Amino acid sequence: MTHSVRFFDLSQLWISESPFWDMAGLHVRTPKSPSHDCYIGTAMARSAPQRNKRPFTRGVKRMGNVSHLVTRTAAFESSIENGLAEGSSSKDRQFVTALARGLDILRAFHAGEGMLGNQEIAHRTGLPKPTVARLTHTLTELGYLNYIRRFRKYELGASVLALGYAAISSMDVRRASRAPLEQLAHALNASTALGGRDRHSMIYLEACRGPSVVAITHDVGTRVPMASTAMGRAYLFSLPDVDRNKQLDAIRRRWRDDWTKVKTGLERSFKELADRGFCVTWGEWLPELCGVGAPLRNSDGTAAYAVNASAPIYQISRDRLEADWGPRLVKIARDIRTGMAAQPSMVSPQGPAVRPAMSNGNGHHMRPPMSAMARR
């Protein structure tokens, strides 16, 4: 059977007009054909039932007049990610399941939560407790976990800190983003951040706060949802179509009970990003929080990130978010990219050459033709 699929570039958004796939269902109107529905997504798996686990609580904890926004990775989300890893291992002979499980143990620890026992780790990862016990013992022997005998629990060890510091200190994008994000945070009296992908969430790589901003406890290492935050949606928008489709596939499974609502928010944000270069969220993740997000690619166009500015809803109007904060954030993203280009590269000159990103002239970076993407 033959079919035709036409792709075109809408800023950074790749859209398929093919109706024969069972898509994630996102659609927008194309500027060339306003009456024609186009779909963004990927073919959806029709088998592989998903495990359904009760999520951990997430919400807002109040202390006086300060809102401490608290989030935990849901057990349901962890089970999906573990399920994807197991699925990968069954198809990929190079995939080492034991290593993946060991890394999942380390991912079970979250900032500000302290120690965890084997039972808690097993609950968060979905792994059998005997497996967890063997893995935590091994990680302790290697220095990645410390065992606190008094409480019979574990905490992250110094070896994890060494890995994290080595990773974050070598990021050109983080060094280039610190000063612009700090200036913007002070100018807007807001929280600003740079984020990158962590599986199907976003993780903060840099975070700044204004002088008198309400204390939003989002620091480096904080994970936030990809589907319901301005940062996450801006990141999704910037991805090549194949990568975006994988993420949308996972998001649909993760949010299947609320997919209609999530899909509507994604459609709206993608349209805003195509039209203005930024998107706005208003209480969609946490009811008291609003923000703007803009996509960012590194200077050679090979890695995707996103930046945001956020504040409590009562502190700012939606009109100001759209008229003032959004355009400023787009400019900050351009400044960071320029700063990265001016920095000496930390990549070895013997490393592989990279393909430069194309630009449409207004700060949005276009994707290479499909033939070039297929060769990667």
Query: What is the distance between the alpha carbons of residues 221 and 206, in angstroms, rounded to a whole number?
Result: 8
Counting beta carbons within 10 angstroms of the beta carbon of residue 235, is it exposed (0 to 12), middle (13 to 18) or buried (19 or more)? buried
Per-residue pLDDT, 136: 96
CB-based contact 110:154 (threshold 8 Å): no
- Please report the domains of the chain, with CATH numbers, ordered by start residue: 59-164 (1.10.10.10), 171-343 (3.30.450.40)
pLDDT digits (tens, 9 = 90+) for 96-149: 999 999 999 999 998 778 899 999 999 999 999 999 999 999 999 999 999 999
What SS3 state is found at 94? coil
Contact 157, 140 (CB under 8 A): yes
How far is 102 from 106, CA to CA, in rounded Å?
7
Task: Please report the pLDDT score of residue 213 as a whole number.
Answer: 62
CA 109/CA 114 separation, integer angstroms: 8
Cβ neighbors of 352 (< 8 A, separation 6 or more) are: none
Angle at 315 between CA 310 and CA 318, to 5 degrees: 70
Separation of alpha carbons 153 and 287, rounded Å:
34
**Owner of token pair 């951040």:** 193
Give the SS3 label for residue 372: helix
The C-alpha angle 279, 226, 291, rounded to 5 degrees, equals 35
Grouping H, G, I as helix, E, B as strand and the rest as coil, residue 253 is: helix
Q: What is the DSSP letter of 321?
A: I
Q: What is the pLDDT of residue 295?
A: 96
pLDDT of residue 319: 94
Q: What is the reported pLDDT for 230?
A: 96
Nearest to 229 by CA among 296, 286, 314, 311: 286
pLDDT for position 74: 37
Residue ranges in the chain whose pLDDT is less than 70 = 1-90, 213-217, 344-376
